[in-house]
Structure 1
């Protein structure tokens, strides 16, 4: 019922968003006579703000059509390497003769409410020197019920399939939520002596051990019983979508949770956007648009996966306690050998607290010390780990060096 009410609300807001978007153009377009009235900037800014608050946000495009390699502009083509019901493995193919000689990176994007395009800057910074493959998760409302359920265990199996498909020389890089299933996938492969083990693991800002420095996200998951999440946050997809009837954790609820964590920050950001439009600071205004075009574009998560994550990762901490079993097999990170490990945290991360990602260092006791590395980025929040100036100037160079060292 809640999902249907949300869709009804969007239907009512759609005309207002369209009207305000058109009105903003009338008061700002250089060929419109209304753009030269005394209060045109104020009106255009107000209309655009209303438009952006009321509009629907679709999945953004990757927009990575080219990169720079050795001083040359090289074309980049986005290809689906492997298509699965809940995920497409995307390869950013570079039109460069020696591209195949560069290290391969499997970049595992989070399935936590946002689209994989949230990692656009991550991919852009790595593209010149690496062959990049990204897990592009499918919005669960677009997956027909005939595809069956999708559990956390299925996520682990997807990662194993992708690792094996890319060969034993791949470097697996996980950001936030997937650090847990990625560590599980490689642990299980190690226990079976799988010959397709990856060359390295790079884990960034993930909840491997949520007992360390609990954040607001961790506290929410532990102060509410499992039944509360199932009864209050799980809803069925309306009939207008291909996944009609599928049980999901709706993206709009996750988005509301994101906003509720820092409401003042978002309010000030929108006010600053309004001021930038009035002053004509188009660069700052465009930066706001780009950020919120990505931030406001959310997807639904399969109910089974979401509830498994709440229980296994946050409530019971099964991975660090050695109690997690995937399809009957115990997850044993201590069995991993010969795989380089690099853990990265942000000093100011309010999603995955300090120590939660570095906990993998202790769990992977079978990895030799010379193959281990860890880094805590100073004055860096959660999104700064993989996006923004600190990512580009501080963290990305360390990852490149680590990969070259263990290539």
Structure 2
């Protein structure tokens, strides 16, 4: 019902948005006297804000100074490579599948383009995936992570940003238990909810208080007819966005009021910064119901991974199996989504990984977004991660490194490996 009401509201507001757009266009004309008066500029600003706050936002583009190639693909995910094949160390960035698109990590990708051959997961909007492609749950997420690591070949580093910390660590544990020859050289977890019992945030407490049945009853809806995934049960992106904004409503209201004033004052640069941020922030995608509910139950309600009870297709996920892949955790002092200690818990849960392969960093003064994006990430956090990866790339023998090759794009199966590229709790805390 909520999905239909949302779609109906979008349709009903279309004439008003068109009228606001025409009014803005006419008012901004050089022949109009309105742009030269405060009242006229206020009218233009009001029209723009109305249009921006009532429309749906399309998927953004990366728009980085590097070409993009799709090198692996399945129905719910594709892997994008930036730039041509090179001899730089390989880095797979696993983007969160939590409502926003992978382009939210544009700055994260950009910080590593100079030093690494960067790949990123580009998760699909569930409402655009036809029902005939089947379901997608947390186990499928883990399978996709393993498949992408296999596709990229040896001498690979992995970075999991926020939500994927759990499935990525589970995938590595399963590969380690199998003595898989392509276990990554290192994995870096940034603001990931490994153990949400540690310093629970409002997000964690909300999940605990409601229970899985409440989410199943109130948050899951069928995709309307006009989308390719019509009939698929999803957690709608607009509901997730509402949750995001409800955490800090005053901040968003203040930001839009500031934009209104910037437009009235003729401060185009500041207004453009606002547009750039919210074009990204307000673009959201739907999540498959199976994945959303299984993640809630496994990670936020039952805490199965830190309790040693998580299963993958009937097989235990044992973090004690991790003994080769170096592990780094990054946390933000002011993170109000993933509390302090939740990511660091991964180091305590991997007792068979030697202390020299572990490192933790708590960054002072940054929140959740600042852990993986922004000036402090570029200038202070990213260099630490690069140094960590460089130290642990040397663990692999030179004989395992091969010349670059290419992967052919394929719709559903695991691809042939991309070329190899050149390249307890005693973990160190840095502030």
- The question of 1:313 aligning with 2:299 is answered yes
Cα distance between partner residues in 1 of 2:293 and 2:337 = 18
Cα distance between partner residues in 1 of 2:238 and 2:129 = 17
Aligned to 1:134: 120
Cα distance between partner residues in 2 of 1:26 and 1:48 = 13
Aligned to 2:224: 238
Aligned to 1:281: 267
Cα distance between partner residues in 2 of 1:333 and 1:28 = 60
SS in 1 for 2:359: strand
Aligned to 1:216: 202
Instruction: Give per-residue Cα distances to partners, 1:58-105, cap 9 Å, x unaligned.
Output: 1111111x2xxxxxxxxx2111111110011111124xxxx6211111
- The question of 1:83 aligning with 2:69 is answered no
- The question of 1:102 aligning with 2:88 is answered yes
Judge which range, 247-256 or 389-398, deviates more: 389-398
Q: Is the 8 A contact 1:345 1:376 kept in 2?
A: yes
- The question of 1:348 aligning with 2:334 is answered yes
Aligned to 1:394: 380
Q: Is the 8 A contact 1:16 1:54 kept in 2?
A: no
SS in 2 for 1:313: helix
Q: Is the 8 A contact 2:70 2:79 kept in 1?
A: yes
SS in 1 for 2:112: helix
Aligned to 2:26: 26
Aligned to 1:49: 49
Larger RCO (CA within 8 A; separation ≥ 6):
2
Alignment map for 1:345-384 (pairs within 5 Å): 345-384=331-370
Q: Is the 8 A contact 1:247 1:303 kept in 2?
A: yes
Q: Aligned-pair distance for 1:25?
A: 3.1
* TM-score, with length taken from structure 2: 0.89
Cα distance between partner residues in 2 of 1:365 and 1:283 = 51
Q: Aligned-pair distance for 1:30?
A: 4.3
Aligned to 2:413: none
Unaligned runs of 5+ in 1: 67-75
SS in 2 for 1:318: coil
Cα distance between partner residues in 1 of 2:148 and 2:210 = 35
Unaligned runs of 5+ in 2: 394-431
Q: Aligned-pair distance for 1:19?
A: 2.2
Q: Is the 8 A contact 2:20 2:48 kept in 1?
A: yes
Q: Is the 8 A contact 2:234 2:288 kept in 1?
A: yes
Cα distance between partner residues in 2 of 1:63 and 1:153 = 32
Cα distance between partner residues in 2 of 1:163 and 1:57 = 32
Cα distance between partner residues in 2 of 1:43 and 1:319 = 54
Cα distance between partner residues in 2 of 1:31 and 1:109 = 47
Cα distance between partner residues in 2 of 1:83 and 1:31 = 52
Q: Aligned-pair distance for 1:279?
A: 1.6
SS in 1 for 2:86: helix
Cα distance between partner residues in 1 of 2:25 and 2:372 = 34
SS in 1 for 2:306: helix
Backbone CA RMSD of aligned residues: 1.2
* TM-score, with length taken from structure 1: 0.94
Q: Is the 8 A contact 1:26 1:34 kept in 2?
A: no
Q: Aligned-pair distance for 1:36?
A: 3.2
Instruction: Give per-residue Cα distances to partners, 1:336-371, cap 9 Å, x unaligned.
Output: 112111100000000000000010111111111111
Q: Is the 8 A contact 2:176 2:324 kept in 1?
A: no
Cα distance between partner residues in 1 of 2:106 and 2:31 = 34
Deviation >6 Å, runs of 4+: none
Q: Aligned-pair distance for 1:38?
A: 5.2
Aligned to 2:280: 294
Q: Is the 8 A contact 2:34 2:41 kept in 1?
A: no
- The question of 1:170 aligning with 2:156 is answered yes
